[in-house]
Structure 1
Amino acid sequence: MKPSTEKRLFRYALTSKKFIIIGLLCLIVAVGLELTGPFIAKRVIDNHIVGIQTSWAQVEEKNDSDTIELNDTFLKRADRLTEEDQIIGHRTLLQSGKNYYLVDQEVPPNSSVQSVNNDAITISYNNTTERVSGEQLHVNDLYTFFQPEIHPIVLLLGLYLGLILIASVFQYLKTYLLQVSANKIIQRMRNDVFERVEELPMNYFVKRPAGKIVARITNDTEAIKELYVKVLETFVNGFIYMTGIFVALFLLNSTLAAICLILVPLLFVWMKFFKKYAGKYNRVIRSTNSEINASINESIQGMPIIQAFRRTKETQGEFEQLNTRHYIYQKKMIVLSALTSFNLVNALRGVAFVAFIWFFGSNSLSGETMITAGVLYAFVDYLTRLFEPVTQIVNQLPQLEQARVAGARVFELLDEQGEKIESLEMKRIEGNVDFDNVSFAYEKDDYILKHVSFHVKQGQTAAFVGHTGSGKSSVMNLLFRFYDPQKGVIKIDGIDTTTLTRQQVRHHIGIVLQDPFIFTGTVLSNITLNDPTISRDTAITALKAVGADRFIEKLPKQYDEPVGENGSQFSTGQRQLLSFARALAFDPAILILDEATANIDTETEGLIQEAMKVLAKGRTMLVIAHRLSTIQNADQIIVLERGKIIEKGTHQELLQQRGNYHQMYKMQQGTSNKVPAV
């Protein structure tokens, strides 16, 4: 049983576990430092700002910096008295609106000033009213009470600022390490995917449009990248942050913190609900996106045909169908995401603040608990902070589902059976080729080749002719091991090719296709394919040997001339000559020419014929022939019809047999009215 997509994504994450673990440790430190802020603020407010509204003791003399002098008397906060202080009396500092009053006795801390008449002050507390003596303080007098608090406030605010700065350093390290790890993971994944693509059998590419494969390597891995770059960081950061906030809330008030814990199961339930529907929508979106890529790729490549046959509107209509389907499911995702991002989080935030107000308000009104301003500030701060990671997590749910679906598509490609590319050394082959009773079908039981047997000796040229669908190209596909036969044996120098790796078989075999592929780069890089074993001189010698120097040396940069996609600036014949030079530079023992002269003009054919003579020296040639005039000097010509060999011999021998080959030759010479496809 294959592991789930989530487990496989997690395993990829483990490939950079060192950096990720260090990054998470930095995150924990940063969160811990940041979350100490409200506690420091609480201490500043309760102990040093609102804290002066408390009982003060009148002492005989000033012993330390906590003692203040007011109107020739010395006062000190009751909670800071020491054994050395000699107490004369007690005072209490009360606030009423914007005014402060100093009462000449000790009164409960929850007392409130009702009225003032000269030195008589009416106060109330615990449903009782009392007249006490005291005085209203001026602003300058009030500042005296704050003097002992300035130094600790400065120290605490400095500590707060220092912790924020240190936390920012750890936040930077966390972001850097996690981002680098994420990009490293995706680099490794893309390498794995591309490596697997290179290992896949040829029929995989036959059955799938190039655009769909490209989408998995680029778009899908990019979606997974967002998982590691943004989603992973957001979720881990969010859960660590929420854990820290809940710890702080429990330290402040365990009852309200327990109520806030309801957020966790609600968030989990919503994530399960979102996964169910978003996963279904994203599968359609990702699949449609691949089809759009395939459609665009096909349309661009076939644009000359589309325009020539006036199929632009039909092609646009087909594209519009895919685009509309993509839009419809994107809209469904937007509805789901909008419901999540705004309604859910705002609703939960509103419920949490209502619970907060109700809890503290009811306790204060009942007189059971007196909540300080610092605790209120800290709780509001933590509640506000709590919903920041919740919002971030919820907003990343669409990206999480996109990455999960994209991951499933990438792993589906990685699970395709391929053959490992191994660079096993093998001595140069001589070039003897044997097909022994070979039968082959692309699809089950639909045999393209049936009991094919032939032998080509080292250094000989063998040509294959026949009508379209007779199996000529299939013979070459089997020899090159793009496919393996269902029946029979293919041998090179007496060795069964299936006992060798595909790379060993191909190491000494070259191929020139009917439609040569030219890579983006330069003329020389297309000959060497950046193989370090092929020198510049070797490549230039190969180009001159096939006659390609005639047009290359007319180019502005000659052999270093830049080449565009598929060599569009060159004619078909010129591209074919480059392909011949490439084959010659790699010096294969066996060379396959797959209808290499089919699409060129008569003038260029002469150059190709000369190039073929150069290539034929010292190597075995297998030629799929379209023009019979190009194979008259072949050592043997094999005629195929419906997957079977019906004739075999030299050009003259086959003409004397007056069979199918004779008939095809007459048709090409214009001596017959019939013109079959060959």
Structure 2
Amino acid sequence: MSTEKRLARYALTSKGTILIALLMLSIAVAVELTGPFIAKTIIDRHISGIEQPWYESEQHDQSVAYNGTYYTRDAYLENDAWRGEEVQILQIGTQFYFTTSPVPTDGERLYQDGTLTVDRHDGTYTTEAASLDPQEVLAFYEPEIHFIIRWLLLYLGIVFVASFFHYGQNFYLKKAAHKIIQRMRVDVFNQLSKVPVRYFDHQPAGKIVARITNDTEAVRELYMTVLATFFSSFIYIIGIYVALFLLDSRLAFMTLALLPILFIWFKLYRKFAAGLNRSIRAKNAEINASMNENVHGMKMIQAFNQEKQQFESFEELNQAHYRYQAKLLNLNSLTSHNLTFVVKNIVFVALIWWISGGTAGLITLGVLYAFVDYINRLFEPVNQVMNQLANLEQARAAGARVFELLDEDGEDVDEATIPRPNGDVSFQNVQFAYIEGEPVLKQLSFHAKQGETIALVGHTGSGKSSIMNLLFRFYDPTNGTIKIDGIDTKHHSPQAWRSHMGIVLQEPYLFSGSIASNIAYGKPDATRKEIEAAVHLVGGTDLFNKNGLDEHVTEKGSTLSSGQRQLISFARALLANPAILVLDEATSSIDTETELLIQKGMQTLKQNRTTFVIAHRLSTIQDADQIIVLDKGEIREQGTHEELLNRKGVYAQMYKLQQGQAS
């Protein structure tokens, strides 16, 4: 499904609100577009209308006294009213003239020595005429003033009505946009919990964050601004063309030539802008990833004096982003206001030629004014659409990136539960590869009985962490089976098994909040007493003495010592009461004094649960029930500490090296 269709599907989730907004927008546009018609009526009927036929009449509200005689415009005389001699008022420049012998109104007018001349293509017409002074002109306009005031009050009311409906459509469209993006961000965040861990292995955190924040923000702009602009502009253009045809169909047909020009313009812009916007979004994500990496690695950067190199690397990304932005800016500058201005003036030139050449026939001043007004209004939505094309393409590029993440294969989070297993774990002929054709585990088989402690040792890359990844079902084996209590782990969801597993990492991850909330992370409903008991059992009671368990924890626990962070991790695992526990180099990064405290806590932690220990310091695993020595994904040796020393194999050599006994 295309990006546009998927964006439309998201829009349909708030279709009710959007339809209300569009209805209010249609009303606002319809009301607003009556303005030029009101202006046309005022000009033709009440301002230029003074040149329409006047008749000698009886005195009444619309009659005007001139030289002792009352005159009334034909438009204000009843059909059965008495009509006397027809008279005429003509305007030349700013001066008005009164004549009792009407002449044609179209043609070139001239007044000289009491004679008014109208020169037309079919001949010259003359009549005696008298010049009217300002007071007399005002008297002839006086019957029109209250009509003009009524029309102006109507127009003012229309402005208020249009403003109300514009406010409504703006409010409801923005409300719909916020709801749509809220739903999209929830979907994206939920997707992150469904995608396999391998996705995060190949995607920098900054790029993922950019998709959830920056890209969805660009999509929000689509629904809130671009959508509103396109819909309002479309309705405006339709409404304006309807009005143009009502005014003069011949002139309106001439303006229809704009539509194919605008369509070609739109298609060409999208063709060139789409690639630039995709590149801009990609570079923006790379900048986010670089910033994230630099912020988290600033200690190392400064420690190795790599500030200049990191700056140069960042500047290279920034410059690439700038180059794409500059190209897009050039494209927007060429195709936005400048091009609109040129096309609009071409239309006006054609309109003037059409009228001045007589091709359009006779049109009134009011029609001409309204037509020019509508043409100006026509280019406002056109210009707005062209100005929003850049945002449209940015939103399409951002939407495509968001949907790429949503399209990643994943599994729904299964909330089904299973009884607490005993913890009997067996690997049977397990093979696994992160990259096809490059196995990291080869025909691996071992059995961990309930309550045993299994130690995994070996050089870097031997497969220790891969075993843990398979056990937690972050990955599934390529071949072979993993069973817990004789049940293939694939028979239940990963979440069901993980609810009975705990892990303590070499670098424990702490979340923003309090120490207590971090300890209760695996058991959010834990009571305060349960949290305190877990801390006491792992020997951490005396290490938190400032604000106790309520001390605030910043991102990753940077204000706490390594020992404190590790104790929190141990207490977290103990409180969750897992049937299977994994200790991944859990004591390698803490001081000796804290390690002694933790070692006592570890004995408590291991009770009544199967424990897997990944260790490089062999002195910490001497009491393990089984020690499995791994090398390049295969088991080289297996047994207790004493058994392996007696074999004088790989384990014995590693142990002697660490004890400084190698010959």
Q: Which of 258, 264, 274 is the matching residue for 1:263?
A: 258
Alignment of 1:268-417 (within 5 A): 268-363=263-358, 369-417=361-409
- Displacement of 1:381 after TM fit? 0.7
Residue of structure 2 in register with 1:185 after alignment:
180
Query: 661-670 or 103-112: which moved more?
Result: 103-112
1:589-616 deviation per Cα after TM superposition (whole angstroms, max 9, x unaligned): 1111111111112111111201211211
Residue of structure 2 in register with 1:114 after alignment:
110
1:182-226 deviation per Cα after TM superposition (whole angstroms, max 9, x unaligned): 121111111111211221111111112111222222222122111
Residue of structure 2 in register with 1:442 after alignment:
434
Instruction: Please give the alpha-carbon distance, in whole angstroms, between the structure 2 residues aligned to 1:329 and 1:359.
Output: 44
1:360-389 deviation per Cα after TM superposition (whole angstroms, max 9, x unaligned): 2222xx8x8332221111011101101101
Residue of structure 2 in register with 1:227 after alignment:
222
Unpaired runs of 5+ in structure 1? Answer: 674-678
SS at match of 1:622: strand
SS at match of 1:441: strand
Quickly say closer, same or farther: Cα 1:610–1:422, change in 2 above 3 A.
same
Quickly say closer, same or farther: Cα 1:304–1:111, change in 2 above 3 A.
closer
SS at match of 2:34: helix
Alignment of 1:6-85 (within 5 A): 6-59=4-57, 61-62=58-59, 64-85=60-81
Instruction: Please give the alpha-carbon distance, in whole angstroms, between the structure 1 residues aligned to 2:50 and 2:582.
Output: 97
Quickly say closer, same or farther: Cα 1:352–1:536, change in 2 above 3 A.
farther
1:445-473 deviation per Cα after TM superposition (whole angstroms, max 9, x unaligned): 32211222222222222111122222111
Q: Is the 8 A contact 2:512 2:556 kept in 1?
A: yes
Q: Is the 8 A contact 2:483 2:489 kept in 1?
A: yes
Residue of structure 2 in register with 1:475 after alignment:
467
- Displacement of 1:125 after TM fit? 4.2
Residue of structure 1 in register with 2:82 after alignment:
86
Q: Which amino acid aligns with 1:395?
A: N
Instruction: Please give the alpha-carbon distance, in whole angstroms, between the structure 2 residues aligned to 1:436 and 1:84.
Output: 111
Residue of structure 2 in register with 1:645 after alignment:
635
1:389-444 deviation per Cα after TM superposition (whole angstroms, max 9, x unaligned): 11111111111111111222211111110111121122222211111121211111
- Displacement of 1:180 after TM fit? 1.2
- Displacement of 1:332 after TM fit? 1.0
1:115-171 deviation per Cα after TM superposition (whole angstroms, max 9, x unaligned): 353xx4332242544553443222222222222212221221111111111111111
Q: Which of 117, 122, 127 is the matching residue for 1:123?
A: 117
Alignment of 1:378-527 (within 5 A): 378-527=370-519
Quickly say closer, same or farther: Cα 1:278–1:112, change in 2 above 3 A.
closer
Unpaired runs of 5+ in structure 2? Answer: none
Quickly say closer, same or farther: Cα 1:530–1:246, change in 2 above 3 A.
farther
- Displacement of 1:536 after TM fit? 2.9
Q: Which amino acid aligns with 1:25?
A: L
- Displacement of 1:76 after TM fit? 0.8
1:260-314 deviation per Cα after TM superposition (whole angstroms, max 9, x unaligned): 1122111111111111111111222221222222122112222222222222222
Q: Is the 8 A contact 1:520 1:565 kept in 2?
A: yes
1:659 is the counterpart of 2:659: no
SS at match of 1:419: coil
- Displacement of 1:662 after TM fit? 2.2
- Displacement of 1:531 after TM fit? 5.2
Q: Is the 8 A contact 1:50 1:373 kept in 2?
A: yes
Quickly say closer, same or farther: Cα 1:425–1:530, change in 2 above 3 A.
closer
Residue of structure 1 in register with 2:601 after alignment:
611
Runs of 4+ in 1 over 6 A off after TM superposition: none
Q: Is the 8 A contact 1:113 1:124 kept in 2?
A: yes
Q: Which of 194, 199, 208 is the matching residue for 1:204?
A: 199
Q: Is the 8 A contact 1:520 1:566 kept in 2?
A: yes
1:476-531 deviation per Cα after TM superposition (whole angstroms, max 9, x unaligned): 11100111111111111111101111111111101111111111122122122385
Instruction: Please give the alpha-carbon distance, in whole angstroms, between the structure 2 residues aligned to 1:649 and 1:569.
Output: 41
Instruction: Please give the alpha-carbon distance, in whole angstroms, between the structure 1 residues aligned to 2:157 and 2:508.
Output: 67
Q: Which of 536, 560, 569 is the matching residue for 1:570?
A: 560
Q: Is the 8 A contact 1:429 1:589 kept in 2?
A: yes
SS at match of 1:633: coil
- Displacement of 1:548 after TM fit? 2.4
SS at match of 2:340: helix
Instruction: Please give the alpha-carbon distance, in whole angstroms, between the structure 2 residues aligned to 1:606 and 1:490.
Output: 34
Q: Which of 625, 632, 635 is the matching residue for 1:635?
A: 625
Residue of structure 2 in register with 1:596 after alignment:
586
Instruction: Please give the alpha-carbon distance, in whole angstroms, between the structure 1 residues aligned to 2:126 and 2:303.
Output: 104
Q: Is the 8 A contact 1:437 1:487 kept in 2?
A: yes
Instruction: Please give the alpha-carbon distance, in whole angstroms, between the structure 2 residues aligned to 1:214 and 1:608.
Output: 36
Query: Percent identity over the alignment?
Result: 52
Instruction: Please give the alpha-carbon distance, in whole angstroms, between the structure 1 residues aligned to 2:125 and 2:212.
Output: 82
Count of residues in Structure 1 that have an aligned counterpart in Structure 2: 662
Instruction: Please give the alpha-carbon distance, in whole angstroms, between the structure 2 residues aligned to 1:375 and 1:349.
Output: 19
Q: Is the 8 A contact 2:432 2:440 kept in 1?
A: yes
CA RMSD of aligned residues (A): 1.8
- Displacement of 1:46 after TM fit? 0.7
Q: Which amino acid aligns with 1:440?
A: F
SS at match of 1:69: strand
Residue of structure 2 in register with 1:4 after alignment:
2
- Displacement of 1:659 after TM fit? 2.4
Quickly say closer, same or farther: Cα 1:479–1:130, change in 2 above 3 A.
closer
Residue of structure 2 in register with 1:676 after alignment:
none
Query: 612-621 or 389-398: which moved more?
Result: 612-621
SS at match of 1:268: helix
Instruction: Please give the alpha-carbon distance, in whole angstroms, between the structure 2 residues aligned to 1:178 and 1:530.
Output: 41
Q: Is the 8 A contact 1:96 1:112 kept in 2?
A: no
SS at match of 1:87: coil
Instruction: Please give the alpha-carbon distance, in whole angstroms, between the structure 2 residues aligned to 1:370 and 1:558.
Output: 91
Instruction: Please give the alpha-carbon distance, in whole angstroms, between the structure 1 residues aligned to 2:327 and 2:132.
Output: 65
Instruction: Please give the alpha-carbon distance, in whole angstroms, between the structure 2 residues aligned to 1:156 and 1:407.
Output: 48
- Displacement of 1:623 after TM fit? 0.9
Quickly say closer, same or farther: Cα 1:485–1:305, change in 2 above 3 A.
same
Query: 303-312 or 350-359: which moved more?
Result: 303-312
SS at match of 2:525: coil
Q: Is the 8 A contact 1:111 1:123 kept in 2?
A: no
Q: Is the 8 A contact 2:508 2:569 kept in 1?
A: yes
Quickly say closer, same or farther: Cα 1:315–1:131, change in 2 above 3 A.
closer
- Displacement of 1:342 after TM fit? 3.0
Instruction: Please give the alpha-carbon distance, in whole angstroms, between the structure 2 residues aligned to 1:303 and 1:505.
Output: 38
Query: 398-407 or 239-248: which moved more?
Result: 398-407
